[in-house]
Structure 1
Amino acid sequence: MGGPRFEPVRAVRAYERVVEQVEEAIESGALTPGGRLPSERELMVQFSVSRSTVREALRVLQARGLVRSRPGDPNGAEVLPFTPAALHKSMTTLARVEELSLAELVQFRMVLDSAAILLAARLRTEEQLAEMYAAVAAMRAALDAGEAGDEGADSFGAADLAFHDAVARASGNKLIEICTDVVRSIVLKLIAGRITDEPDRGALMRRSIRNHEDVVAAMRAGDGPLAARLSRKAMYDYYAGYVPERERGALRALLE
């Protein structure tokens, strides 16, 4: 039979409509951080819904990190400022329910890191470059001290984190800085157990140090494209083994 094909419609619950309107008010600036929503009773009147519907909407908004609602507080829920924690929570949830695969997360990290490096190679200050060198030196110190055990790995990991944080700050883009931190922490959580089980973590550390040294040398020379290529290749070499073979093509697409 001809004619258009229609999709089934989804019944929308009342609390979802409340959530949508409050989110729109926050996004438009009609509600600002530190401000208050109307009281539960007033929300019931304005939305023409029950108390249970209002409370369900407030639970959802609080879970999304948009408001803080205290039981028994006579005032309305407080609108919270945006924090990286809210983005972290959302992306972690997506990864846990497999809406985001490890391959997609690693690919996004490759994109973010190379973009940060391209910008930092041009915009970095001498002080920021010194921070990167200091972080690499701390990585080498952890390895040279024979600290390939758990404690040494923690010291090495902290220095590696300091390196990537310094690069992200040097990019001058706050959103890159936030997203890089969020994506990196999620990826590392997903593969933490497998890294711990690596038979030769010392070899991984040495390879990582060499890669960081090559990247920072290219940045010092102002060759952002080279530094970015080196970073993407190093990240591919490090993570590809944790990604299913059928999904590695998504990572190789970023290599040159």
Structure 2
Amino acid sequence: MSAGEALFRPVRAGNAFEETVERLLQAVRLGVVGAGERLPAERELAERLGVSRVTLREAIRALADAGYVESRRGRYGGTFVNEVLPVPPSPTRERDPGALEDTLALRHVLETGAAELAAARSLSPADRRHLTGTLAEACTTSIDDYRRRDSRLHLAIAEVTGSASLTSALADVRMRVNQLLDEIPLLEPNLEHSNAQHEAIVDAILAGDPAAARGAMAEHVEGTASLLRGFLE
């Protein structure tokens, strides 16, 4: 299997936009599609990735906004990799080569466990108001304040588990995740998708369905992981 075949294989349905961005970024950053070269035609690429053309266009638009590709019209048009690729912002501190996967693994365990535990508890009316209130704030906030509201919702889920130790551990890993997220652009389709996933997570918790809450959270954090791997690895 060639590198192009490996990268342009079908993505999983749960995080189609995020994984499409990841695959395209990998193809560009690894030189599978070199500077100045054209990506496969939209129809072909959508079929190979197993995504809708709408999802593919959103992913390409996100990469264009981030400075990786440009779309050209006309007979010889298409989506082309820019001759000069953007330089990611320098992290505030040198990152250990394994730090990204270490953070993502820890986040997955803590976040999915917190969602499952929250759904298994008998929540008080105050707990329920706390979850619905922070969810509403995350879904309606401006893009400039999104990261803070997003973090607050995830902490609220940990808080309603009743475990102070879990809440503290999740707060620590969230700080690490936010430092990584600050190094990549905010993509509006991802924020819309994240809000829908947030609603699914909170709905499952409020319904007292631990398996559904864990599954919804796993899908959510893996979407973020796909973007981080795509931009930072």
Q: TM-score, normalised by structure 2?
A: 0.54
**C-alpha displacement of 1:155:** 2.2
Alignment match, 2:110 = 112
**2: CA distance, partners of 1:158 / 1:223:** 27
- Amino acid aligned to 1:226: A
Alignment match, 2:48 = none
Q: TM-score, normalised by structure 1?
A: 0.50
Is 2:183 aligned against 1:185? no
Aligned residue pair count: 140
**C-alpha displacement of 1:207:** 0.6
Question: Partner of 1:172: helix, strand, or coil?
Answer: coil
**1: CA distance, partners of 2:196 / 2:171:** 22
**2: CA distance, partners of 1:190 / 1:163:** 18
**1: CA distance, partners of 2:227 / 2:145:** 24
- Amino acid aligned to 1:159: R
Is 2:215 aligned against 1:215? no
Q: Which structure's CA Rg is the greater one?
A: 1
**C-alpha displacement of 1:111:** 0.5
Alpha carbons of 1:97 and 1:121: their partners in 2 closer, same or farther (altered >3 Å)?
A: same
- Amino acid aligned to 2:117: L
Alignment match, 2:57 = none
Q: Deviations over 1:201-252 (max 9, x none)?
A: 221211111001001111111101111111011110122232269x9xxxxx
Alignment match, 2:132 = 133
The answer to whether the 8 Å contact 1:138/1:156 transfers is: no
**2: CA distance, partners of 1:97 / 1:162:** 25
Question: Partner of 1:195: helix, strand, or coil?
Answer: coil
The answer to whether the 8 Å contact 1:121/1:219 transfers is: yes
Gaps of 5+ in 2: 1-92
Aligned ranges 1:90-169 → 2 under 5 Å: 96=94, 98=96, 100-123=98-121, 124-142=123-141, 152-169=142-159
The answer to whether the 8 Å contact 2:115/2:158 transfers is: yes
**C-alpha displacement of 1:168:** 0.8
Is 2:168 aligned against 1:170? no
The answer to whether the 8 Å contact 1:132/1:216 transfers is: yes
Question: Partner of 2:154: helix, strand, or coil?
Answer: helix
Alpha carbons of 1:157 and 1:190: their partners in 2 closer, same or farther (altered >3 Å)?
A: closer
Alignment match, 1:89 = none
Structure scoring higher RCO (CA < 8 A, sep ≥ 6) equals: 2
Gaps of 5+ in 1: 1-94, 143-151, 248-256
Over the residues paired in the alignment, what is the CA RMSD in angstroms? 2.4
Identity of aligned residues (%): 21
**1: CA distance, partners of 2:144 / 2:161:** 26
**1: CA distance, partners of 2:208 / 2:200:** 12
**2: CA distance, partners of 1:106 / 1:113:** 10
**2: CA distance, partners of 1:96 / 1:109:** 20
**C-alpha displacement of 1:177:** 0.7
Question: Partner of 2:185: helix, strand, or coil?
Answer: helix
Is 2:221 aligned against 1:230? no
- Amino acid aligned to 1:139: A
